[in-house]
Amino acid sequence: MLLYLLFVGPTMLLALGAQWLIRSAYQRASQIPTRMNGVMAARRILDANGLQDIPIEQSQGQLSDHYDPSAKVVRLSPDVYQGYSIASVGIAAHEVGHAIQDAKRYAPLVVRNLAVPIAGFGSSLSSVFFFAAIALGAMGMSQWSMWAMILFVAGFSATVIFQIINLPVEFNASSRAKTELVSLGIINTQELSQVSRVLTAAALTYVAATLQAVATLAYYLLHFVLSSQGRRDG
C-alpha cells in the first residue's frame, strides 16, 4: 500500500489540484459577460468553418460538454449552452474545435477515435484479470495468477496509451478555440486571457489523469516484476 501511494499519491494530489483549479477558473470566468451565449458562439464558429450541417444540442449535467464524432454533433451543458459568459463561449469553442479537427481529419483525433473501442475493451477486461490474479494467487495457483496479471497489465496499457494520445487532441482543440474566438470577434484580446485560464485548467485535468494512469501502470509493472522475482527465488 505504501509503495502504491508513493507511485500514485502525487498524481492523485495533482488531479485534485486540477479539479479545484478548473472550478475556480470556471467560476471566475462565468462572471464576465459576453455578447453571445455558448450556443451562439459555437454556431458562429461552425458556420465560419463550413460546418453548417453540424447540429448543436443541449445535454444534461454540469460540464458534460463534448463533441460526438460518431453522431457528428456538438453537445453543450445547460450552463454553457445558455450562458452569456467568457466561460461559456470558451468551453463551447473548445468543443467546436473537436468538430473542426474531425472535419479536417486531424491525425491525432483519427487515431484517438480508432483507439476508443480498444481502450474501452482493455479497461473492462483489465479489471476482470486483476481480480482473477488476486483470486488465483490466493488459491496457490501462482502460474495462472502470473498470466492473469500479464493480461491485466496489457489491458490497462491500452487505457494509458489512449490517454496519452488524447493529450495533443485536447490541447489542439483549445488552441483552435482561442484562435476562432478572437478572429471572429466573439471576444477581444483582453478577454482571451480569461478564456486561456479556463481551457488551461481543463487541460490540466487531462494531464493529471494521464500521469495518474502512467503511475498506476508503473506500480503494477514493478509489482509484477517483484512478484516474479520472488517466485523464482522461492
Q: Is the model's pLDDT at 230 over the cut of 80? A: no
- Determine the 3-state secondary structure of 84 from DSSP: coil
Give the mean pLDDT of the chain: 89
Q: State the pLDDT at residue 234.
A: 52
DSSP conformation class of 184: T
Q: What pLDDT, in 10s, does the model give residues 104-129?
A: 999 999 999 888 887 777 777 777 88
How much is the pLDDT for 5? 82
Residue 95 designated active-site: yes
For residue 233, pLDDT over 70 is answered with no
Q: Rg of the chain's alpha carbons, rounded to an integer?
A: 21
Q: Give the integer Cα–Cα distance in Å for 116 and 145.
A: 28
Total domains in the chain come to 1
Q: Which of 57, 95, 170, 191 is catalytic?
A: 95
Across the range 60-73, mean pLDDT stands at 91
Q: How confident is the model at residue 150 (pLDDT cuts 50, 70, 90)?
A: confident
Domain encompassing residue 53 = 2-233
Measure the CA–CA gap between 49 and 181, rounded to whole angstroms: 12
C-alpha grid cell, residue 26:
470556471
Residue 106: its pLDDT value, please? 96
Element (H, E) at 190: helix 189-233
All cell numbers assigned to 45: 464558429
The residue among 48 and 149 whose pLDDT is bigger is 48
Please tell me whether the overall predicted TM-score, pTM, comes out greater than 0.75 for this model.
yes
Rounded to an integer, what distance in angstroms lies between the CA atom of residue 121 and that of residue 127? Answer: 10
